[in-house]
Amino acid sequence: MKYINKLGSIKRLLYFNIIAIKILLKNYFFSSKDFKYLFVLSPPFCGSTLLTQIISSSNNVSCNNNIGLMEGQHLPQAKDILFTKDRWDIDKKIDWIKVKSIWHKYWDLSKPILLEKSPPNIIRVEKINKYFNKVKFICLVRNPYAQIQSNLRRYNTDIKVATTDYIKYLKFQKENLNKYDSILIKYEDLTEQPLIEKEKIIQYLPVLNDIKIDLKFSAHNIRKSKNLPLTNLNKESIDMLSKEQISSINIILKKEEKILSFFDYSTI
């Protein structure tokens, strides 16, 4: 197993090295300075990979990581800086000049939109806004019970920790929406009324007028399907929660109804 994992890591590194070389050559001849940075700000398990795949369907977008979870924090070199055990520590020191330099090796600078999404970015927006000029943010959230259940299912997280973390995520997103150039997208709206959400994104960034929502997507989901059209999977997730789990979640959520109502969520 260790040999297989090592072989997989070598293949990934080789893949990224080839991509970096291709991008380097293209950027040398076709680089444009008239681009904007777009950060998808999303807690874990809220559909950020799905949204990133949708945005990446535009011919005007370059995502710095096009495989797996599509997160810049998983890129070679960046991983040792960003994907660390303390990545959710708000006081974590990050060399943003170096991170920006690494990401630029994987962005096609001839594209008008340079896309990045790594969940811990939701607590780093002040620094991101400082080090990346012309930066835009899409803030993504999801129904609390579906997000918390996904956390429990995927990582066997303690239910109180998962619920408390969810509230922290919402508070960060509220601050990001209030303080920075951003728009809000809700997972439920994206999957149930995609045409409306598509138009919202285009109004925010007109250059994304060619994004596609009628594709089948490979983002991680509860059905483990790699070929799924836009589908709201909240009910399937919530139905997996027991009455006892919902009761435990509600003990915390009912104390935080103000932040829930800001995003039009409520307890069940």
Query: Which residue has better confidence, 259 or 31?
Result: 259
**Residue for token pair 């002040």:** 126
Report, as an integer, the average pLDDT of 90-107. 96
Provide the total of helices (H) and of strands (E) in the chain, helices listed first: 12, 5
Q: Which domain holds residue 218?
A: 2-262
Q: Please check whether residue 123 lies inside any domain of the structure.
A: yes
Helix axes 159-179, 243-253, angle to 10 degrees: 40
Q: Please check whether residue 31 lies inside any domain of the structure.
A: yes
Q: Please check whether residue 267 lies inside any domain of the structure.
A: no
Report, as an integer, the average pLDDT of 93-111. 96
The C-alpha atoms of residue 49 and residue 233 are separated, in whole angstroms, by 14
pLDDT tens per residue, range 8-66: 565 666 667 677 677 766 665 666 668 999 999 999 999 999 999 999 999 999 999 99
Q: Please check whether residue 203 lies inside any domain of the structure.
A: yes
Q: How many separate domains does the chain show? A: 1
Which tokens sit at 168? 């922290």
Q: Please check whether residue 66 lies inside any domain of the structure.
A: yes
| Residue 227 DSSP SS3 | coil
Q: Please check whether residue 268 lies inside any domain of the structure.
A: no
Q: Please check whether residue 214 lies inside any domain of the structure.
A: yes
Tell me what percent of the residues of the chain surpass a pLDDT of 70.
89
pLDDT tens per residue, range 133-164: 999 999 999 999 999 999 999 999 999 999 99
Which CATH number does the domain housing residue 160 bear? 3.40.50.300
Q: Is the pTM of this model over 0.75?
A: yes
Q: What is the Cα Rg of the chain in Å? A: 19
pLDDT tens per residue, range 208-237: 999 999 988 888 788 877 789 999 999 999
In this predicted structure, what is the pLDDT of residue 2? 41
Q: Among 30-44, 162-176, 235-249, whose mean pLDDT is lowest?
A: 30-44
